[in-house]
């Protein structure tokens, strides 16, 4: 809104008075913008003043969503890992869009043998990681021995194995090859990433499939993150530990 207003003022001065100005360098505009930013920070510190956050899913709803997708097809495999990773790594709403394969690293012992854990530690942009530009501590995907069907390590390994040698795109989630069929040996994925808008609809569409009324409650990709926070709080995790897991800037951000 600020940028649009500044542009309109700039155009008005030029069209009506033939005066060329740069609102972003103007002292009065700068003071007004700083005052706005100060008020914004003040409101952000008050949980009750924020917009309605994405609704957290129940454990039953989350499990139903995880079971929606079959790993025997390219679309199902990607979405299955997306929901496993979103929960295990407390992903932010748009984090999957920017996820690269180099963000994951298999842990090995002194003999070079895999331990069954995968380290996850991307360098976040300002958009993807709020006030922190980098996670101080890595997050980990661990082998789920109790339920291998829902094991994030196994599913990620399978997903990476479906990337053919000609795929040079570093993004984790790729566009499904439209010519893929179960009976053919066609590649599962194209060498192009899935668009942001498409990924942003995954959780909402999955919620609708299991019967959640998304017109009544706000369901987004951030809902899984809200679910993680809710479950950890109920499990008695301290705020300090929770912040290290989720990457929130401070405990105030957790209150909603």
Residues 190-224 have pLDDT tens digits of 999 999 999 999 999 999 999 999 999 999 999 99
Residue 130's CB is within 10 A of a number of other CB atoms, namely 15
Domain positions in the chain: 2-44, 59-251
What are the CB-based long-range contacts (under 8 Å, 24+) for 170-178? 170/100, 170/101, 170/102, 171/98, 171/99, 171/100, 171/101, 172/96, 172/99, 172/100, 172/101, 172/103, 173/78, 173/82, 173/96, 173/97, 173/99, 173/199, 174/78, 176/74, 176/75, 176/78, 177/74
Q: Does domain 59-251 have CATH number 1.10.443.10?
A: yes
Question: Looking at residues 36-62, what average pLDDT do you find?
Answer: 74
pTM recorded for the entire structure: 0.75
16 confidence band (pLDDT: 50, 70, 90):
confident
152 or 20, greater pLDDT: 152
255 confidence band (pLDDT: 50, 70, 90):
low
Are the C-beta atoms of residues 91 and 224 closer than 8 Å to each other?
yes
- Residue percentage of the chain with pLDDT more than 90: 54
Give 118-143 pLDDT, tens digit per residue: 999 886 444 444 444 444 578 899 99
CA-closest candidate to residue 206, choices 64, 54, 65: 65
For 27, the token pair is 């002292």
């Amino acid at each position: 809104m600020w940028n649009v207003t500044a542009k309109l003022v700039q155009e008005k001065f030029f069209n009506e008075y033939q005066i060329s100005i740069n609102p972003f360098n103007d002292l009065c505009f700068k003071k007004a913008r700083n005052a706005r930013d100060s008020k914004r920070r003040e409101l952000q510190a008050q949980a009750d003043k924020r917009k309605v956050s994405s609704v957290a899913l129940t454990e039953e709803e989350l499990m139903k969503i995880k079971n929606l997708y079959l790993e025997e097809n390219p679309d199902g495999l990607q979405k299955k890992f997306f929901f496993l990773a979103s929960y295990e790594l407390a992903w932010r709403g748009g984090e999957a869009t920017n996820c690269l394969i180099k963000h994951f690293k298999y842990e090995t012992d002194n003999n070079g043998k895999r331990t069954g854990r995968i380290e996850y530690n991307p360098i976040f942009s300002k958009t993807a990681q709020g006030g922190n530009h980098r996670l101080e501590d890595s997050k980990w995907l661990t082998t789920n021995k109790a339920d291998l069907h829902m094991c994030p390590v196994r599913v990620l390994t399978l997903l990476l194995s479906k990337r053919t040698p000609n795929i040079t795109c570093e993004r984790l989630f790729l566009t499904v090859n439209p010519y893929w069929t179960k009976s053919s040996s066609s590649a599962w994925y194209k060498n192009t990433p899935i668009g942001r808008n498409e990924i942003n609809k995954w959780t909402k569409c999955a919620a609708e499939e299991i019967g959640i009324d998304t017109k009544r409650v706000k369901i987004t990709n951030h809902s899984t993150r809200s679910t993680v926070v809710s479950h950890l709080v109920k499990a008695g995790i301290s705020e300090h530990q929770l912040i290290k897991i989720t990457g929130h800037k401070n405990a105030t951000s957790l209150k909603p």
